[in-house]
């Protein structure tokens, strides 16, 4: 292949209505799948991911009655004043209160203090992670724990009250404002949609069916949407995710950009399997009484709500559309793979003839083997195709299993030559020879018939490649037919072929018998094989070879035999006719 050579793909066309219907059916399925993916996945759009900001405002007031606290009012500052981080808010639902703590010396409980039996067991200024203060070095014998300097009285270690003191927090509401932007598209939007007015916003509460775009939420509804029970969750607290998803289509005809809300619990709710379940923390309120600083310690339980905003926007882009179409064109190549596979393996004979299928398979999937010997072509007179034998010949060629059958391809010029010779009246000498051959049905020399011969006219050969008969099964030999005599053996026919190739050839020369013999080989090959592959070697049956040799013998009695390096007999005849060399 040269630098300036252009190469193109060669296609094998099979004219079959059923195969064409199968091809277009597969094309239709692929096209439908591509269209579905194009529109459902919006592959024609360019996409951009959002940037977001969130603010939340909780509203609600509750009054609790506790044996320790008494009647207490909890407003927004009390139950939602503590910040828990960006894009989140916290609501108190339960509390353990330790009142009137002052700094001084007091004993600790056994669960948090150091156990002692004397002062020697207590180390002054010692503290640990479980302790509430710093040891004074004194052992309190009544409780058998070390005395500490701390906020006294020490907070009691006890579980969260049941039921929660702020169960009514489920009726609190939260107003969430979410602003988003798609920078690449220069597009901004809020979850307070343009068609929401002030009156509606004052009274609406989110409901998935009736008010799906209202930005005000009842806390009890949020927990219920997450699949939880607010009364149970309020005891020890937990974490709830409020997810806002924006899937925006910014195309003019299909424009849509509205928020979709969903809710789920983030923490582990099973307190039997989880250490330290729920969510709690401590804070204190300080005050002075009679000039002494005191405080009230609150261990509060509650629910933290994390607002998570995700989404993307898409807008038509011609480059994206062209890229998608170009990338999906490769899917149509699946049709070729499927049809070729079915044709080579599973196509029913009603779809195409066995010969066509075999021919197609041989042409489409031609095996190139690493071998030094050329494929051998065989043509039996009792079969209508050519067989090809590949690989080394380890036994008689007659008994070798062919690799694949091929359709005989006859060249138009060769057919015209054969027909013209057959239509020519035979010469007187030719009539006599034909009559003698039909009467005797044998060669002029006696010989031993080899076991691989089927016609009874073959001679023993010097190589396995030449051990070939003209027939697959027993029957009449091709060399005894009138056509063989007219096309292959007739001297006038062979001389006409030689002069056609080289008009100035001297047929009276000494080498004329050699020319006639090789011309007879050429005639037989053109007649029985037609056009063979350039890398193949056409093998003439032994009976025909010896019939030709008997008619046009070698002066020295020596013959080259099968020579595959000179597989193109047309070029051989040309060389002989021009130079007179074998």
Instruction: Give the pLDDT confidence score for residue 423 in this predicted structure.
Output: 58
Largest CA distance in the chain: 156
Label the pairing between strands 216-218 and 537-538: unpaired
Is the pLDDT at 318 greater than 90, yes or no? yes
Q: What was the pLDDT predicted at 571?
A: 52
**How far is it, in rounded angstroms, from Cα 357 to Cα 368?**
20
Helix (H) or strand (E) holding 334: helix 333-345
- Are the C-beta atoms of 457 and 543 separated by less than 8 Å? yes
Q: For residue 381, what is the enclosing H or E element?
A: none
Give pLDDT tens digits for 110-166.
Answer: 777 788 889 998 989 988 888 889 999 999 888 888 999 999 998 888 888 888 888
Residue 575: what pLDDT? 52
Q: Report if pTM > 0.85.
A: no
| Listed range (68-77, 128-137, 310-319, 376-385) with the worst mean pLDDT | 68-77
DSSP E strand boundaries for 476-543: 537-538
Nearest CA-CA partner of 175 in 212, 208, 211, 219: 219
3-class secondary structure, 115: strand
Give 312's strand partners.
49, 247
506, 434 contact by CB (below 8 A): no
CB atoms under 10 Å from CB of 465, counted, come to 20
For 471-495, the pLDDT digits (tens) are 999 999 999 998 899 889 988 888 8
pLDDT at res. 581:
44
CB-CB contact of 265 with 321 (8 Å): no
C-alpha distances in Å from residue 443, one per residue of 86, 476, 561: 109, 14, 19
Sign for the CA dihedral angle at 465, 467, 472, 477 comes to positive
Q: Which residues contact 510 (CB under 8 A, 6 or more apart)?
A: none
pLDDT digits (tens, 9 = 90+) for 158-180: 888 888 888 899 999 999 999 99
Do 235 and 164 contact (CB within 8 A), yes or no?
yes
pLDDT value, residue 210: 93
**SS3 annotation, 120-151:** HHCCCCCCCCCCCCEEEEEEECCCCEEEEEEE
Nearest Cα to Cα of residue 469 among 486, 483, 451? 451
Q: Distance between CA 461 and CA 49 in Å, rounded?
A: 83
Per-residue confidence band for 501, with pLDDT thresholds at 50, 70 and 90:
confident
pLDDT digits (tens, 9 = 90+) for 178-223: 999 999 999 999 999 999 999 999 999 999 999 999 999 999 999 9
**Calpha distance 343→337 (Å, rounded):** 10
Indicate the length of the chain as a whole number: 582
What was the pLDDT predicted at 29?
Answer: 94
Query: What Rg value do the Cα atoms of the chain yield, rounded?
Result: 51
Is-contact 578 514, C-beta < 8 A?
no
Beta partners for residue 406, in sequence order: 386
pLDDT tens digit sequence for 353-403:
666 666 666 666 666 655 567 788 999 999 888 888 887 888 999 998 887
User: For 228-281, how does the pLDDT look when each residue is reduced to its tens digit (9 = 90+)?
Assistant: 999 999 999 999 999 999 999 999 888 999 999 999 999 887 656 667 788 888
Sign of CA dihedral 561, 565, 567, 568: negative
Residue with tokens 């099973």: 270
Is residue 541 predicted with pLDDT exceeding 80? yes
Q: How far apart are CA 573 and CA 581, in angstroms?
A: 10
CB-based contact 168:62 (threshold 8 Å): yes
Average the pLDDT over 14-37 and give the result: 89
Task: Please check the confidence at residue 574 and state whether its pLDDT lies above 80.
Answer: no
Whether 58 contacts 257, CB under 8 Å: no
**Higher pLDDT residue, 422 or 116?**
116
């Amino acid at each position: 292949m040269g630098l300036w050579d252009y190469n193109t793909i060669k296609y094998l066309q099979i004219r079959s209505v059923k195969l064409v219907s199968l091809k277009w059916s597969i094309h239709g399925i692929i096209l439908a799948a591509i269209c579905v993916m194009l529109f459902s996945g919006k592959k024609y759009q360019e996409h951009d991911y959002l940037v977001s900001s969130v603010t939340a405002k909780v509203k609600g007031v509750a009054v609790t009655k506790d044996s320790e606290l008494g009647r207490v009012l909890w407003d927004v500052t009390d139950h939602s004043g503590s910040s828990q981080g960006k894009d989140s808010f916290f609501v108190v639902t339960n509390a353990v209160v330790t009142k009137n703590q002052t700094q001084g010396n007091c004993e600790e409980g056994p669960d948090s203090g150091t156990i002692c039996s004397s002062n020697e067991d207590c180390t002054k200024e010692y503290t640990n992670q479980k302790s509430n203060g710093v040891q004074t070095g004194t052992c309190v014998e009544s409780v058998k724990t070390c005395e500490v300097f701390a906020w006294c009285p020490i907070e009691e270690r006890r579980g969260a009250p049941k039921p929660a003191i702020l169960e009514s927090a489920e009726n609190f509401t939260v107003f969430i404002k979410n602003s988003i932007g798609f920078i690449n598209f220069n597009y901004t939007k809020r979850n307070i949609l343009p068609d929401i007015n002030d009156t509606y916003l004052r009274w609406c509460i989110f409901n998935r069916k009736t008010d799906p775009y209202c930005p005000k939420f009842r806390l009890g509804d949020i927990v219920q949407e997450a699949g939880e029970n607010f009364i149970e969750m309020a005891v020890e607290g937990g974490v709830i995710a409020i997810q806002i998803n924006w899937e925006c289509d910014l195309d003019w005809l299909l424009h849509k950009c509205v928020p979709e809300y969903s809710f789920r619990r983030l923490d582990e709710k099973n307190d039997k399997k989880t250490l330290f379940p729920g969510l709690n923390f401590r804070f204190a309120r300080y005050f002075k009484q009679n000039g002494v600083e005191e405080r009230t310690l609150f261990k509060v339980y509650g629910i933290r709500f994390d607002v998570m905003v995700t989404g993307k926007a898409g807008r038509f882009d011609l480059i994206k559309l062209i890229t998608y179409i170009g990338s999906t064109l490769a899917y149509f190549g699946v049709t070729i793979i499927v049809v070729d596979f079915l044709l080579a393996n599973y196509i029913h004979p009603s779809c195409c003839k066995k010969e066509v299928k075999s021919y197609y398979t041989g042409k489409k999937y031609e095996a190139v083997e690493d071998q030094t010997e050329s494929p051998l072509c065989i043509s039996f007179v009792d079969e209508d195709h050519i067989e090809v034998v590949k690989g080394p010949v380890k036994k008689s060629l007659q008994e070798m299993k062919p690799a694949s059958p091929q359709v005989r391809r006859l060249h138009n010029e060769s057919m015209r030559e054969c027909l013209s010779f057959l239509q020519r009246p035979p010469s007187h000498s030719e009539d006599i020879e034909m009559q003698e051959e039909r009467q005797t049905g044998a060669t002029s020399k006696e010989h031993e018939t080899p076991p691989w011969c089927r016609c009874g006219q073959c001679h023993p050969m010097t190589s396995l490649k030449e051990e070939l008969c003209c027939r697959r099964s027993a029957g009449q030999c091709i060399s005894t037919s009138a056509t063989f005599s007219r096309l292959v053996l007739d001297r006038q026919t062979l001389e006409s072929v030689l002069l056609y190739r080289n008009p100035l050839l001297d047929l009276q020369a000494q080498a004329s018998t050699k020319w006639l013999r090789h011309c007879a080989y050429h005639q037989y090959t053109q007649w029985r094989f037609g056009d063979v592959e350039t890398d193949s070697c056409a093998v003439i049956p032994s009976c025909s070879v010896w019939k030709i040799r008997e008619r046009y013998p070698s002066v020295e009695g020596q013959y080259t035999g099968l020579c595959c390096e000179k597989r193109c007999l047309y070029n051989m005849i040309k060389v002989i006719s021009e130079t007179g060399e074998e």
